[in-house]
Amino acid sequence: MVYGRVLDERGRGVPGALVEFWQANAGGRYRHKKETYLAPLDPNFGGFGRTITDEEGNYAFRTVKPGPYPWPNGVNDWRPAHIHFSVFGHGFSQRLITQMYFEGDPMIWICPIVKTIPDEQAIRSLIAALDMNATIPHDLRAYKFDIVLRGRRSTLFENRPEGN
Ligand SMILES: [Fe+2]
């Protein structure tokens, strides 16, 4: 499960935000026409979902943890496990796009795409924390990922690299 809150610059939850997410399957394979990686498709997994935040800005979804996959522009470069997010904030015309990574993954720090982010704090804002309190025994692990739309503590957005 991935869960968290969509927050504004004052740390207030943003209700009614549309949160969309897409990802590779557990083997690192996307269900996409242009996908070239040889890992198998999972017939039970589409790789895309959407939800809307509640009154406090909370969202949650159940998924499989995506696998890493090779980044074809490098000889031996890999993308760390990640989930793509698109957020339509309440009352904003702009669509915000980012990627979430998983705490403790050593692939994060050697990823050529992550390395293009000069600010370590900005990278850390993209890493979801393993939450053993929200983890359900024998069922699922929980990762917590808060998305801050604006302000000094805002999440790094791919389509807004100059700042939020
Ligand atoms: Fe990806």
Q: Ligand 1 centroid vs 158 CA: distance in angstroms?
A: 12
- Average pLDDT of adjacent 10-residue blocks, the chain of 164 residues: 96 95 96 86 94 97 97 92 93 80 97 94 96 97 95 87 64
Distance, in Å, from the CA atom of 120 to the CA atom of 80, rounded to the nearest integer, reads 16
**Of 2, 134, 146, nearest in space to 63 by CA:** 2
What are the residue numbers of the active site? 30, 69, 79, 82, 84
Supply the pLDDT for residue 124. 96
Distance, in Å, from the CA atom of 21 to the CA atom of 100, rounded to the nearest integer, reads 10
Supply the pLDDT for residue 92. 57
**Of 126, 44, 42, nearest in space to 85 by CA:** 126
Q: Ligand 1 centroid vs 123 CA: distance in angstroms?
A: 16
Supply the pLDDT for residue 150. 87
Q: Ligand 1 centroid vs 69 CA: distance in angstroms?
A: 8
Supply the pLDDT for residue 131. 98
Residue type, 126: L
Q: Ligand 1 centroid vs 82 CA: distance in angstroms?
A: 6
Q: Ligand 1 centroid vs 18 CA: distance in angstroms?
A: 20
Architecture of domain 2-148: Sandwich (2.60)
pTM (2 d.p.): 0.94
